[in-house]
Amino acid sequence: MRSLALASVLLASFSLGPVAAAAAPPPAVAPAPVAALVRAVDIPYQQFTLANGLRVIVHEDHKAPVVAVSVWYHVGSKDEPKGKSGFAHLFEHLMFGGSEHSDQSWFTPMQQIGATDMNGTTWFDRTNYFETVPRGALETALFLESDRMGHLLGAVTQQKLDIQRGVVQNEKRQGDNEPYGLVEYAQLEALFPEGHPYHHTTIGSMSDLDAASLATVKDWFRSHYGPNNAVLVLAGDIDLPTARRLVEKYFGDIPRGPQSVPAAAAVPTLPAPKSEELHDQVATTRLYRMWVVPGLTDPAFAAIDIGADVLGGLSSSRLDNALVRGEKLAVSVSAGVQPFERVSLLEVTADVKPGVDPARVATRLDQIIADFVKTGPTADELQRAKTRAVSRRISGLESVGGFGGKAVALAEGAVYAGDANFYKTRLQRVAALTPAQVRAAIGRWMSRPVYALRVSPGPRGAYEESRSVPAGGGHHAPNYFRAPAAGEHPLAPLPVAIVAAAAAVPPAPASRGVDRSHFPPVGEIADLKFPNVEHARLSNGIPVAFARSAAVPVVRVAVSFDAGNAADPKSGLGTQSLMLALIDEGTDRYNSVQIAEQQERLGATISANAGMDRTVLSLFALKPNLAASIDLLADIVRHPAFAPAEVERLRGQQLARIAQEMAQPQGLAFRTLPPLLYGPEHPYGVPFTGTGDPRVVQRVSRDEIAAFHDAWLRPSKAKIFVVGDTSLAELMPVLERSFGDWRDTGPAPVKNFSAAIPANPSRIVLIDRPNSPQSLILAGEILNQTGKDDLVSLIEANDVLGGSFLSRLNMDLREQKHWAYGVNSVVNRVVERVPFLVFAPVQADQTGPSVAALRDDMSAFLAARGVTAEELQRTVNGSIRELPGSFETGGDVLGGMQRNDMYGRPDNYYETLASRYRSLKAADLDAAARRAIDPSKLVWVVVGDAAKVRPQLEKLGLPVEAAGAPAH
């Protein structure tokens, strides 16, 4: 719900001094023209409209046996009347709580059928619901979607409303609790006058949510959720006759509703510039400059959007090159446009470098903006911005559904512009832009009075929305760890849509034309067919693994090194992270700006990241520009310059990132727990964030950074994985030319996993974060299993315990007790000894009882209350049926190939999982969990307001110690 800042940028007239002069001009490249890229973007579709007004769009894509189902209702928070803010979003939550013929959690049947990319979202202009399902389960998905469109209100009860009201209010608190979490309130209050449809936030006010009655909520549904106000998109392994038959069958008898007319909204202009300052628990002062500009369908939008990219959205942007690279006044900058239907928000930000006067940065920021308004972009800047915009669109279209796939592109155009092909119109407008057009649009809209906001470190003032929940009265929405293919969970939280407590499905009468007394049978769902993986070696011995994926003309490359956070030197934690931040900031051939510009010209994206066991340099490339993109990747991997000036600049940025982590509940917990579990001498005994020790980052030298690169990023530790629209025969000469002559120098280091893992007593480590309305609980223990062991049974058992929405832990703390925003547990699969982790943000006044409930639930599950037959069936069915949707894109396949290699598994591993799942019994899951997990060994880290939380924790019978202090 918060405004999103985009990337960073360049001042053409500003001399970059040593930064710009550090390298010779790069060799000329001839990337594919933008117009040619735009012509290649096509989503063929057919459409029809039911008699009740439901618009249906069908796109065929048979690359995978899945279908994306996306329902968009043309109503959002801008359409809420005064006193009813938050209703659109509140109702989105209620739509997951069950309908008249399926009065249970939406996730119960969806997990059974193997749905992936499943969620619901609300924004100012629309509410949408989406899932990707196996082809054989499409009829079940349409039954459920039609039931909540046409047969919902009989299942909406006061109890469900009360639960979801609390969920939304705690979702609001959790967002507010983040650094800069109050900015959106100030932004909308300042930019839009009272009564304007965009004046209030989508999540609404506490008082309006409190006032929502059952009758008013039901009236909202009747007024806006008719089929004539909706668009249904089916994209994937389906044809028009099948779509027409099924949609007519399940949606055809739903009566039309009142015609919803989206609220009109003019683009307001401030009467005069306005400046404000907020204080917050932030590590860095952030400066904002904001304007309201035209909406998504306005012809001027493309020029404003691309102009913002040139100003602060590209890696080589005006602001980035001036404030970050050149004058080193800021640690990060951004500029971008938040698009809405009637209006949009243009936002520019600069995070002030610690020690620099914010007033000085504000003056330079305004000078650079004024210069850009006057001069506009150069032809080269515009060309790069266009290529990057088209490249992003092509990347998104590899998926049929989810947040940004083909179904979204079609639905967005149909809803906002009345034209499913509007994505083409937008791309054509971008391709046709000239520098003069962008200068004119920017000059018109950014020369108006600005809203200038400064957020400075300091105590956050009291505000109405922060009021606490009475004990036992708060209800929260879940926050899940994302579960990739085969249930392997990385440590990354994923917001998921909310539902009410599960209930038995009662017998129900048939509605006209459809027997709704039972679900339609699930058709045949074929087991996963993982793409064929081919293998080769470069002349220097680097292994190459390749899988073809021709859905879109792109190629993904991952150069993976056996390093990771576990390779960070114990006396130099943060060295690897700083090295990776620097690696694309200059080479022997290019300086920092030239690398950024080269990627933009090619439409390529090169990124560097590390997990616990691997360090990976990744490339996203457009097929026509593949050779030049790989050449750039190789130069970055092999020849980083680590120029002293760049080291100092990135050192400051990393210190700012660490400071920001230490201002966030999750960052604090993830930095604290691993060293407690593994011990400081173990390779895994380092912060999960990987950013390291600020004292080390402050002092590590350029030579130490270069030595780490040369030791760990070497051919003997490298493997290259490629997925995309090419062939091994075409690929190998390109890789050989770029990487084949690379040779090792000196002996290769190894990670030492012989350090003993301490016998940790169970205890609570409390991190004080005053004035936190919620507490973050992160608990863990080290298991005897390693990532290379067979963990199928254990991961499936954890799915029942805490790894899914319907898990024991989540259903207790969220659905029964209403204390948690969602509870997750995960077997975090590293190569060596794996940790079991529990993650739970809970309301502050129930922190102690939440820890007690988690311990009780785990103990019961591991003793007398093991996996039930229903839980086994639900979990196994979901795990089997979600496999095809889990490997829909080239990125999914690339990740699977790397995991198979890291864990020593065969290429066809994922194809063997279905039969493995089918053979599982409840006793197998129980035995695996009981063998591995011991709740009495958990170490608990709690981040919260110690004055409120400590008295609760001291009643649990566990030692409670402040972070860094002895227990007492």
User: Which of the residue ranges 292-296, 472-476, 603-607 would you say has the lowest mean pLDDT?
Assistant: 472-476
pLDDT at 433 over 50: yes
DSSP state of 384: H
Helix (H) or strand (E) holding 66: strand 66-73
Residue 499: pLDDT over 90? no
- Quote the pLDDT of residue 105: 87
Distance from C-alpha of 597 to C-alpha of 599, rounded to nearest angstrom: 5
Note whether 623 and 726 are within 8 A (CB): yes
Q: How sure is the predictor about 464, in pLDDT bands with cuts at 50, 70 and 90?
A: low
The per-residue pLDDT for range 914-965, each reduced to its tens digit, is: 999 999 999 999 999 999 999 999 999 999 999 999 999 999 999 999 986 4
Its sign, for the CA torsion 236, 241, 242, 243, is positive
Q: How confident is the model at residue 908 (pLDDT cuts 50, 70, 90)?
A: very high
42-76 pLDDT per residue, tens: 999 999 999 999 999 999 999 899 999 999 999 99
Bridge partner residues of 776 (DSSP): 841, 943
pLDDT of 802 reads: 97
Q: What is the pLDDT of residue 29?
A: 55
Cα distance between residue 673 and residue 571, in whole Å: 19
pLDDT surpassing 60 at residue 966: no
- Contact assessment for residue 493 and residue 873, using Cβ atoms and an 8 Å cutoff: no
Q: What angle do CA 245, 247, 251 make, to 5 degrees?
A: 130
Among the listed residues 332, 289, 334, the one whose alpha carbon sits nearest the alpha carbon of residue 314? 334
Q: What is the mean pLDDT of residues 815-825?
A: 84
SS3 assignment, position 525: coil
Per-residue pLDDT of 176-191, as tens digits, reads: 888 899 999 999 999 9
Q: How confident is the model at residue 465 (pLDDT cuts 50, 70, 90)?
A: low
The answer to whether 453 and 183 have CB atoms below 8 angstroms apart is yes
394 versus 255: which is more confidently predicted?
255
480: CB partners within 8 A, 6+ apart = 493, 494, 495, 496, 804, 805, 822, 824
For tokens 């959690």, name the residue: 105
Q: What is the pLDDT of residue 277?
A: 97
Vertex 86 angle, CA 83 and 92, to 5°: 140
Lowest mean pLDDT among 459-473, 590-604, 687-701: 459-473
Q: 481 pLDDT exceeds 80? A: no
| DSSP class of 199 | S
968 pLDDT exceeds 50?
no
500 HSE (CA, 13 A, CB side): 26
Question: How far out from the chain centre does Cα 475 lie?
Answer: 23
- The per-residue DSSP string of 545-610 comes to EEEE--SSSEEEEEEEES-SGGGS-TTSTTHHHHHHHHTTSBBSS-BHHHHHHHHHHHT-EEEEEE
Kindly state the average pLDDT of the residues 319-339: 96
Region 159-183: mean pLDDT is 87
Q: How many helices (H) and strands (E) does the chain have?
A: 34, 25
> In the prediction, which pLDDT does 254 show?
96
**pLDDT, tens digit, for every residue of 2-52?**
232 222 222 222 222 223 333 444 445 577 888 888 888 899 999 999 999
Beta-ladder partners of 481: 493
Residue 498 has pLDDT above 70, yes or no: no
Among all chains, which residue has been given the structure tokens 């904002």? 288
pLDDT, residue 1, reads: 30
Query: Within 13 Å, how many C-alpha atoms sit on residue 668's CB side?
Result: 23
Buried/exposed 927-948: b ≥16 CB within 10 Å, e otherwise: ebbeebbebebbbbbbbbbbeb
Taking Cα atoms as reference points, which of 497, 491, 501, 499 lies closest to residue 479? 497
pLDDT: is 618 or 14 the higher one? 618
Q: Residue 395: its pLDDT value, please?
A: 86
Confidence of residue 463 (pLDDT cuts 50, 70, 90): low
Higher pLDDT, 384 or 822: 384
State the distance between the two ends of the chain, measured CA to CA, in whole angstroms.
Answer: 41
pLDDT of residue 11: 22
Q: Looking at this protein, which amino acid is placed at residue 894?
A: L
Mean pLDDT of the chain: 90
More confident residue, 589 or 395: 589
| 399-428 mean pLDDT | 95
pLDDT average, residue stretch 784-808: 97
Task: Reply yes or no on whether the pLDDT at 769 is more than 80.
Answer: yes
**Half-sphere exposure in the Cβ direction for 521 (13 Å, CA):** 2
Q: How far apart are CA 824 and CA 804, in angstroms?
A: 7
Give the pLDDT score at 964. 63
- The answer to whether the CB of 389 falls within 8 A of the CB of 617 is no
Among the residue ranges 7-16, 119-128, 263-272, the one predicted with the least confidence is: 7-16
Residue with tokens 């308004």: 373
Over 90: is that where the pLDDT of 233 sits? Answer: yes
d(CA 323, CA 331): 8
Cβ pair 675, 688 in contact under 8 A: no
The pLDDT, as a whole number, for residue 14 is 24
Among 576-590, 657-671, 709-723, 805-819, which is the least confidently predicted range? 805-819
Tokens 């050149």, residue located: 326
> What is the mean pLDDT of the segment spanning 585-593?
95
The torsion region of residue 818 among left (phi > 0), alpha (psi -120 to 50) and beta comes to: left
| pLDDT score recorded for residue 466 | 52
Of the two residues 170 and 90, the one the predictor is more confident about is: 90
What is the number of residues in the chain? 968
Write down the pLDDT at residue 8. 26
Cβ(619)–Cβ(565) under 8 Å? no
Q: Is the confidence at residue 756, as pLDDT, over 90?
A: yes
